[in-house]
Each structure stands twice: as C-alpha cells, then as structure tokens.
A and B are shown apart, each in its own frame.
Chain A
Amino acid sequence: SAVISQKPSRDICQRGTSLTIQCQVDSQVTMMFWYRQQPGQSLTLIATANQGSEATYESGFVIDKFPISRPNLTFSTLTVSNMSPEDSSIYLCSVVGGRGADTQYFGPGTRLTVL
C-alpha cells in the first residue's frame, strides 16, 4: 500500500491569508487528488493534480482559489488562497497507482481553521 503524509497536520489561520498544504507519497503514483471535508460533511473532490500540467478542477472550484502543483510523481501541494472562515475544513490528498495499484489511498488530512 502507499504511505501518504501531509503537512501541516493542522493549522489555524487568519482570514485573508493563504496556506499551502503538502502531500508526499512514499512511491511513485499515477494519480493524485485533493478533497475537502467540511465539518460534519462527506468528502468533495476539489481537483485532480496532473504532473507537469495544470490541475483539473471540479465544478465550483477554481485555480485562483485553490492553486495546485504536482512537480513529480510523489509530491503535490494545494494552496488555499485568501482564506475565509468558510474554508475551514479538512483537506485530504489521495493517490492511485504505484504499489497500491488501482486502490485509492488517502492521506491523514490537514485540519484548517480560519478565524
């Protein structure tokens, strides 16, 4: 299985600032995704992180608000820009491929609170 780490594990931020979340995998993977889990809610897909090209965003999510990088097959970042309290959520990365084959594995998540 793939082992995924996320940094930071949690943060408390002021409105108007930006936070970059890192996702590191211990093996090369085919696909990486970013999800959001708002308090008491299920997971919603934000975007697919594409290596070497722009991420593919789901309806309701835009690059200016959630810029994503994926410089190689084991690492991706998600930035939450110009934060507001409504951005308070758990942000999770997930991966498919590599040692995990077709199984989708999730990172532990980053708990973000915006004041």
Chain B
Amino acid sequence: TQLLEQSPQFLSIQEGENLTVYCNSSSVFSSLQWYRQEPGEGPVLLVTVVTGGEVKKLKRLTFQFGDARKDSSLHITAAQPGDTGLYLCAGVRGSGYALNFGKGTSLLVTP
C-alpha cells in the first residue's frame, strides 16, 4: 500500500515554464521531506516541512505543507534544465525517522 501518492508521475516541460508537483495522503505525517535524485546517486534532501500550513522557499522552489499535514506541494518557477531529476516526497509518521516515500515525479526540462 502506497501511503503517499505523487502526481504527476512524469513531466516534460520547456525551460522557463512553471510547474507544480503534488504529494497526497490520507495519513497524517509529523514531517514531510522533499528529495531530488539524479541517476546513479542517492536522494538529496531539499527541504523538511513540519508545521501544518508551512511554506518554505528555496530559490525558485516553493514547498507547502497542508494544514492537516496530509499533503504537500512543490512549485518550481521558471524551470531550468538543471532542475531535471526525480523528485520524491517522503513522510515520517509518529516520532521515528523511517521514511515512507512516494513513487516520485520524473521531471525533464528541455532548453
């Protein structure tokens, strides 16, 4: 059973466009992380959101945690080819550290 549903699964856009990736669940998470993974490498943490309604910005990336702590979104403004990669959301339930990952969104940004 997949706890976290990510959409879209694949996204191919032109440089300069905006995009939003969604991560949804029926479960409540104590925190939610967004990772980016490039081929041949492990996931690299982009951000952790903890508080319901929280918004965090990382340059052109904006992350939001839903008020009920069940969902999150990642918005990229003016995408660049360097943004290409697999974006993964992962949630922590309770007080542990074990991560439940979504299936990921594979993003391709073409010049």
Spell out A's residues near B (CB within 8 Å). Answer: 4, 31, 33, 41-45, 48, 58, 92, 94, 96, 102-109, 111
Residues of A close to B40: CB separation below 8 A: 108-109, 111
The contact sample of 28 A-B pairs, CB cut-off 8 A, is: A4-B42, A33-B97, A33-B98, A33-B99, A41-B103, A42-B101, A42-B102, A43-B43, A43-B88, A43-B90, A43-B101, A44-B101, A45-B99, A45-B100, A48-B98, A92-B43, A94-B42, A103-B48, A104-B97, A105-B45, A106-B35, A106-B43, A107-B42, A108-B40, A108-B41, A108-B42, A109-B40, A109-B42
Residues of B close to A94: CB separation below 8 A: 42, 99
Shortest CB-to-CB span from B31 to chain A, Å, is 9
Which residue of B has the minimal Cβ distance to A107? B42
Interface flag for B11 (CB, 8 Å)? no
User: Which of the residues A43, A102, A108 comes within 8 Å of B99, measured between beta carbons?
Assistant: A43
Interface flag for B73 (CB, 8 Å)? no
The A-contacting residues of B in range 14-59, CB under 8 angstroms, are 33, 35, 40-45, 48
